């Protein structure tokens, strides 16, 4: 199952043709309903934090700047000692702990911008999957967003001529920019992240409620619909899960994450022919986000489907030829297929591409083992 966490967003491009299928609320207990945090609690800044911000913008070097630059200077100031721990902190927590993931830092930027009457626009950045965590059938990958700050609300498209300041959190040379998202979609992303955390802890009822909250903000947000389907399946309602998958695919037939999860449901139900049809469709898709191929390749490798692993990772490498972990994973797939010489050649490419000592040692050790066979 592909479950995007951290900071990626793929809103549906087309108007939904039918009503979103009803969720099965009998799956969750009534006492948990109040456990979902309100938007105000996510973006809240304490009085002392607002006082600190007010003092910062009154500095001689800061007070002469436009408000959007004041926000940027303050966030850059906070980022100097910011510890990227991958946690989905609220704005208050990120400020107090000086830590969090890119989404937490974007949320803090949003809160500071609101305090200074600055307008924000967010753009998805498809990031190289630095951390891939697979637990059972849950695959978590990491993407992020960048923020555009405006003194005046931009008219029309965000690149329509308004002057903006861009804040990019933890940029990387492998990043690929993606879609622009609305304020509501951005907030829905945070509920999506919290739901992903709950799912990894097997707290599926909590995940259900967080996803439901996110969908009140962005009812066409495909990632939330996809995760809601997964949550229904995990809670035992495969019928509603399938309806949600089919609804999402009716509006985006080439959604790699939805297709991947629907395929898994069909496989679990022993509907082999239908699952194989979806698999063939997945193999034929050309995605604008090459990291989708990487995620599918890693997922196939985890389930020891080495032939599929090779297909997806080769598609990924065609689009992103400098990402050395993909070569290592591809080499592992060829080992699984018994193609040791091919694996050695690919490992040599991984070694040449990496400048990280730990990765290079790992690849060299694997190469040495293969040469000894």
DSSP helix/strand/coil, 134:
strand
Interatomic CA distance for residues 289 and 312, integer angstroms: 13
Residue 312 has pLDDT above 80, yes or no: yes
Residue among 254, 302, 313 nearest 137 (CA): 302
Taken in order 360, 169, 133, 2, is the CA torsion positive or negative?
negative
Residue 9 has pLDDT above 70, yes or no: no
Residue 175 has pLDDT above 70, yes or no: no
Instruction: Summarize the confidence of residues 302-327 as an average pLDDT.
Output: 88
User: Which tens digit of pLDDT belongs to each residue from 112-131?
Assistant: 999 999 999 998 876 655 43
Residue 183 has pLDDT above 80, yes or no: yes
Q: Tokens in use for 205? A: 């009822």
Return all residues near 280 (Cβ < 8 A) that are at least 6 apart: none
pLDDT tier for residue 141 given thresholds of 50, 70 and 90:
low
Residue 3 has pLDDT above 80, yes or no: no
pLDDT tier for residue 304 given thresholds of 50, 70 and 90:
confident
What pLDDT shows up at residue 81?
Answer: 80
Residue among 35, 3, 17, 10 nearest 188 (CA): 10
Least confident of 26-30, 79-83, 241-245, 260-264: 79-83
Interatomic CA distance for residues 227 and 211, integer angstroms: 8
Residue 22 has pLDDT above 70, yes or no: yes
What pLDDT shows up at residue 136?
Answer: 45
- Report the percent of the chain where pLDDT is more than 90: 49
Contact 232, 245 (CB under 8 A): no
pLDDT tier for residue 68 given thresholds of 50, 70 and 90:
very high
Secondary structure percentages of the chain, helix, strand, coil, to 5: 60, 10, 30
Neighbours of 31 (CB within 10 A): 8
pLDDT tier for residue 92 given thresholds of 50, 70 and 90:
very high
What pLDDT shows up at residue 24?
Answer: 96
Instruction: Summarize the confidence of residues 163-186 as an average pLDDT.
Output: 78
Instruction: Summarize the confidence of residues 260-269 as an average pLDDT.
Output: 90
Contact 2, 261 (CB under 8 A): yes
Helices 324-336 and 306-319: crossing angle in degrees, nearest 10, is: 160
Give the mean pLDDT of the chain. Answer: 84
Q: Between vectors from CA 227 to CA 224 and to CA 228, what angle results, nearest 5°? A: 85
What pLDDT shows up at residue 277?
Answer: 93
Long-range CB contacts for residues 69-77, cutoff 8 Å, separation at least 24? 69/165, 70/116, 70/118, 71/109, 71/112, 71/113, 71/116, 71/118, 71/149, 71/165, 72/149, 72/165, 72/167, 74/112, 75/105, 75/108, 75/109, 75/112, 75/167, 76/167
Residue 194 has pLDDT above 50, yes or no: yes
What pLDDT shows up at residue 107?
Answer: 95
What pLDDT shows up at residue 314?
Answer: 93
Residue 159 has pLDDT above 70, yes or no: no
Q: Between vectors from CA 178 to CA 177 and to CA 181, what angle results, nearest 5°? A: 125
Helices 256-268 and 238-251: crossing angle in degrees, nearest 10, is: 150
Residue 226 has pLDDT above 60, yes or no: yes
Residue among 341, 337, 349, 267 nearest 308 (CA): 337
Interatomic CA distance for residues 162 and 156, integer angstroms: 10
What pLDDT shows up at residue 7?
Answer: 40
């Amino acid at each position: 199952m592909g479950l995007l966490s951290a900071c990626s967003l793929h809103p549906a491009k087309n108007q939904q043709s039918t009503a979103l299928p009803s969720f099965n609320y009998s799956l969750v207990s009534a006492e948990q309903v109040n456990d979902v945090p309100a938007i105000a609690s996510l973006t809240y800044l304490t009085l002392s934090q607002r006082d600190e911000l007010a003092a910062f913008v009154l500095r001689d070097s800061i007070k002469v700047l436009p408000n959007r630059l004041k926000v940027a200077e303050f966030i850059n100031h906070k980022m100097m000692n910011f510890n990227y721990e991958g946690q989905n902190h609220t704005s208050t927590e990120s400020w107090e702990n000086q830590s969090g993931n890119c989404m937490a830092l974007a949320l803090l930027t949003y809160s500071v911008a609101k305090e200074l009457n600055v307008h924000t626009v967010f753009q998805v950045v498809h990031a190289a999957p630095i951390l891939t965590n697979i637990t059972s059938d849950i695959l978590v990958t990491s993407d992020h967003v960048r923020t555009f700050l405006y003194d005046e609300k931009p008219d029309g498209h965000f690149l329509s001529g308004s002057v903006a300041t861009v804040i990019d959190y933890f940029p990387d040379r492998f990043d690929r920019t993606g879609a622009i998202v609305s304020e509501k979609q951005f907030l829905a992303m945070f509920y999506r992240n919290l739901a992903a955390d709950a799912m990894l802890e097997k707290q599926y009822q909590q995940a259900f409620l967080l996803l439901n909250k996110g969908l009140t903000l962005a009812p066409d947000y495909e990632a939330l619909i996809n995760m809601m389907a997964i949550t229904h399946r995990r809670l035992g309602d495969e019928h509603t899960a399938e309806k949600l998958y089919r609804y999402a695919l009716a509006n985006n037939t080439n959604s790699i994450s939805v297709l991947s999860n629907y395929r898994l449901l069909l496989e679990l139900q022993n509907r082999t022919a239908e699952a194989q049809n979806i698999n063939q469709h997945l193999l034929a898709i050309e995605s604008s986000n090459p990291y989708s191929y990487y995620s599918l390749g890693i997922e196939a490798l985890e389930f020891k489907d080495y032939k599929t692993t090779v297909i997806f990772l080769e598609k990924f490498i065609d689009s992103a030829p400098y990402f050395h972990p993909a070569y290592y994973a591809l080499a592992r797939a060829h080992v699984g297929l018994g193609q040791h010489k091919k694996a050695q050649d690919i490992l040599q490419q991984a070694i040449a591409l990496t400048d990280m000592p730990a990765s290079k040692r790992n690849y060299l050790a694997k190469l040495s083992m293969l040469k000894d066979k």
